[in-house]
Structure 1
């Protein structure tokens, strides 16, 4: 049984993420979606909120599980027995960054191979930081994130905007 790990911050989960999950779920027996916790990164959603969102968004994929992890992804792979990391790439900048990460992960765990999957073309512009900025100012994010995520983001920004006034 081949298990692949798809790590990310998923803040917020996007259609681009779901596109990679859906495609990877057809290639591997099991996909572990790994919410990587980085204490230096300020996230809009808590670890638990991202977990809950991803559980709901992936419930139709019988071979996908969601986990929260707060140390090295290479260590998660070692602990779980997974030997494939899935990473989505949108452009040459993503490729360069992901290539460097793949070398580091290979150094940290020689059993891990990284598979880069190009995001579907319609999601090339879907970037979490841009989505948060558009949502913060009340823009339309309906083509970038699932309805569930859009609703939760609007709640977050409504509360933030109400408090700051």
Structure 2
């Protein structure tokens, strides 16, 4: 009995020490986040602004992904962690989708930070139990085949124009 109480006591003490060590990094994970830089742009198709387009910057390095939704003028501001904060420095493949149910405005939250994830495809889900149709050529929503690229620079202007045809 005494041995089991001693073992339980040691286990609780070690558990508390591990928990305290794991939680001492700032609480919200912000200390591990990549620095982001304001980045914005405009997206058009056949010369016309794309309204409600999902724009996804898929990282080509270790930086997190960034996303945006275009407004009524086809303009967008990228977000990585919160609305309009920008994108981390680095090279990106850019994907653009516009669904038949697209609405302009800021996305409600960032989609994550995993390289290679097709956030544009995930972002096109209507939320009504069915998949919406992308009205743009498929190459623009495919991370492997998109012709669109961007480079976000720490001291750069970071304004991008994508003219889709």
TM-score by length of 1: 0.26
Report which of the two has the higher share of helix. 1
More strand by share: 2
Rg larger for: 2
TM-score in terms of structure 2 length: 0.26
